[in-house]
Chain A
Amino acid sequence: MSNDLVLRVIGRLLIPFILLFALYVQFHGDFGPGGGFQAGVIIAAGLIFFALTHGVNTVRKVVPDWLVETMVASGVLIYAGVGLAGLLFGGNYLDYFVLDHNPVHGQHRGIFWVEVGVATTVSGVMLKIYYMFASRSGLED
């Protein structure tokens, strides 16, 4: 598949829009369908599409293994960090009300960062799984 010219060209054209759409899904999650999980999957899907058309090793240059592993871990840390921020501002764990003077804004802020954490971890995990399968012997391109 990686030698298919049409796919390669179309892929290059589409991938920026896929990533942009991921961001839309991410930030629109507060108001409509969407959110961190879906956005994370779309980001990973865009990169996996790139890997399918251009080879895993090309993507590895863009998103190296250490970065993927960092993403997996740091997303969880961001989520847990939002919870701890609630503690620091004098509320309970994962208390978003205290994150801003206006409790409604506080809720927005809290859920925003939680979703960032979710997207980071989900896209990291998807990529990690893909890398692990793709780099098994016999499947390397």
Chain B
Amino acid sequence: MSLAQHLPALQVVLPLISAPLAVLLRRGGLAFVIVTSAAWTAFAIAITLWLQVDTGGTISYHIGNWEPPWGIEYRIDRLNSFVLVLVSGMAAVVLPYSRASIEREIPRESHYLFYAMLGLCFTGLLGITITGDAFNLFVFLEISSLSTYVLIALGRDRRALTASYQYLIMGSIGATFIVIAIGFLYLMTGTLNLADMANNLSAIKSTRPVLVALAFFTVGVSLKAALFPLHQWLPNAYTYAPSAVTALLAATATKVSLYALIRFYFTIFGDSLVFDKLPLPEIMLLLSLFAMFVANFVAIFQTNLKRLFAYSSVGQIGYITLGLSFDSVHGLAASIMHLFNHGIAKGGIFLLVGGIVATLTTRQGIPPAPTFERLAGLAKQMPITCFGIVIGGLSLIGVPGTAGFISKWYLILAAMEKGQWWLVGAILLSSLLAIAYVWRFVEVAYFRAQPVDQVSRGEASLSLLIPAWLLITATIWFGFDTSFTVGSALDAAHQLMRSAR
């Protein structure tokens, strides 16, 4: 028996097992060790799988040794091997961070439950990404969603409960829509295997149930991915959740939903249905533009730093769907790249903001909101944290030398390929809005005088700074060395476009 051939199953199973183990051990410290080592192992497995796909092509793993159309298949191609690296990598960075971060945010006696939930959350996200079975995808979606609701509700602010409840309602509607879509597809094709479904669908593409399935799926996933105007749950959820949770969600949860959207559009429905027969590209283009402008504009006027970056996330999702609407290799590649590049930048920013919240918190007190009046003159006290947020912000703007520039460059390239010059202008204009909200932070932290009555605070502890800076460094790294991100994204886009035609 060689372990290497079972890596696709272990990718999901090891984090899954870590969660009940954490509950059984009932000790925060031990649970932390178990779940963190599961996360790092999952990260190692994801990288190995990426290398295997890179050299050997698509991997197919048959759960329970049942042949694919009947049994559940785990299918790893260019696209999901790349997303797996993002999800497991973020989990591996956020977990070591969470130990110091939840110290003051979550009562000590429920620490082990927090780790169990975190384990389940990224189990679900990895599962959605890796599976080649429609119903299995729904099950993992539920695992990740349910654990996410709990994680958000664990925030000390009482508003975390309403935020979580709001997300619960919206998320359940989204999940219901997705399962209705899967039901219709199953009805029409008699299979749940995604590849098999795609084959059977080619003859009955324009029938009404398939169109209904497409509509339900699009709306359902857009809810989960917080695509404008279905983003209402996101700002509250990101603002009131514990800092570590916010970072993990911002970097992975919406990204995985977008992955599912790409997977269904290109692998199953095929772009002749999605993009040629229906006005979907126009709708998506319009919504993306709304997200880019409205959400970024709203972000400028926020007074809470966490909420500001939450709205910025809604805006950045607009760029990802904008790339999809082009229906070209470069547009798709830009979307896939931006999943990754925005994930690491926003993850890093939220980890640093979590560091600010931790230093603002007095022992056993309720963590105060990082509002701008509390942050005045912060750069003198926490220079490393503030500098990190600025670099992350530069990546959100898309300044050359950061990862955000690379994805925006490909987005502009795709727009120019289509000859839509006004879109190039729109992308640049919306980046100006990003400059405005990042500048608000710079202005408050660097140029405003510190309130006189404020007690002097030090820099955040190293256990909070190191994981955050790991991601910020990655943002710069992937701004220069693009062989991994651009290479994977272009390969994935080529593969998807081939299968879609």
- By a beta-carbon cutoff of 8 Å, the part of chain A in contact with chain B is 66, 69-70, 72-74, 76-77, 80, 83-84, 86-88, 90-98
In the complex where A80-B13, A83-B13, A87-B9 touch, is A94 in contact with B20 (Cβ < 8 A)? Answer: no
A-B residue pairs, 3 tightest by C-beta = A93-B9, A73-B20, A73-B23
Give the nearest-CB partner of A80 in chain B.
B17
Q: B456 within 8 Å of A by Cβ?
A: no
Question: What residues on A are CB-neighbors of B20 within 8 Å?
Answer: 72-74, 76-77, 80
Q: B336 within 8 Å of A by Cβ?
A: no
Question: What residues on B are CB-neighbors of A95 within 8 Å?
Answer: 64-65
Q: Is the CB of B23 within 8 A of A92?
A: no
Question: What residues on A are CB-neighbors of B63 within 8 Å?
Answer: 92-94
Per-residue interface assignment for chain B, residues 236 to 267, with 1 indicating a CB less than 8 Å from any chain A CB and 0 otherwise: 00000000000000000000000000000000
Q: Is the CB of A70 within 8 A of B64?
A: no
How many Å lie between the Cα of A84 and that of B20 in the bound state? 15
Q: Is the CB of A69 within 8 A of B61?
A: no
How many Å lie between the Cα of A69 and that of B31 in the bound state? 15
- With beta carbons under 8 angstroms apart, the residue of A77, A87, A94 that contacts B17 is A77
Q: Is the CB of A77 within 8 A of B6?
A: no
25 example contacts (A-B, Cβ-Cβ < 8 A) are as follows A66-B26, A69-B23, A69-B26, A72-B20, A72-B23, A73-B20, A73-B21, A73-B116, A74-B20, A76-B19, A77-B20, A80-B13, A83-B13, A86-B64, A86-B65, A87-B1, A87-B9, A88-B1, A90-B1, A92-B6, A93-B61, A93-B63, A94-B64, A95-B64, A95-B65
Q: B440 within 8 Å of A by Cβ?
A: no
Q: Is the CB of B17 within 8 A of A92?
A: no
Q: Is the CB of B23 within 8 A of A91?
A: no
Chain B residues touching A, range: 10 to 19
In the assembled complex, the CB of B2 is this many whole angstroms from the nearest CB of chain A, namely 10
How many Å lie between the Cα of A24 and that of B89 in the bound state? 46
In the assembled complex, the CB of B3 is this many whole angstroms from the nearest CB of chain A, namely 8
Q: Which of A66, A77, A92, A95 has the most CB of B within 10 A?
A: A92
Question: What residues on B are CB-neighbors of A70 within 8 Å?
Answer: 24
In the complex where A76-B19, A83-B13 touch, is A92 in contact with B64 (Cβ < 8 A)? Answer: yes
Give the nearest-CB partner of A81 in chain B.
B17
Per-residue interface assignment for chain B, residues 434 to 452, with 1 indicating a CB less than 8 Å from any chain A CB and 0 otherwise: 0000000000000000000
In the assembled complex, the CB of A51 is this many whole angstroms from the nearest CB of chain B, namely 23
How many Å lie between the Cα of A27 and that of B26 in the bound state? 31
Q: B16 within 8 Å of A by Cβ?
A: yes
Q: Is the CB of A77 within 8 A of B21?
A: yes
Q: Is the CB of B9 within 8 A of A92?
A: yes
In the assembled complex, the CB of A59 is this many whole angstroms from the nearest CB of chain B, namely 21
In the complex where A73-B23, A77-B21, A87-B6 touch, is A92 in contact with B16 (Cβ < 8 A)? Answer: no
In the complex where A92-B9, A93-B6, A93-B9 touch, is A77 in contact with B24 (Cβ < 8 A)? Answer: yes
Q: B62 within 8 Å of A by Cβ?
A: yes
Give the nearest-CB partner of A69 in chain B.
B23
Question: What residues on A are CB-neighbors of B19 within 8 Å?
Answer: 76
Per-residue interface assignment for chain B, residues 1 to 37, with 1 indicating a CB less than 8 Å from any chain A CB and 0 otherwise: 1000010011001001101110110100000000000
Question: What residues on A are CB-neighbors of B62 within 8 Å?
Answer: 92
How many Å lie between the Cα of A72 and that of B116 in the bound state? 12
Of residues 71 through 112 on chain B, the ones whose CB sits less than 8 Å from some CB of chain A are none
Q: Is the CB of B64 within 8 A of A73?
A: no
Of residues 320 through 366 on chain B, the ones whose CB sits less than 8 Å from some CB of chain A are none
In the assembled complex, the CB of A134 is this many whole angstroms from the nearest CB of chain B, namely 20
How many Å lie between the Cα of A72 and that of B22 in the bound state? 12
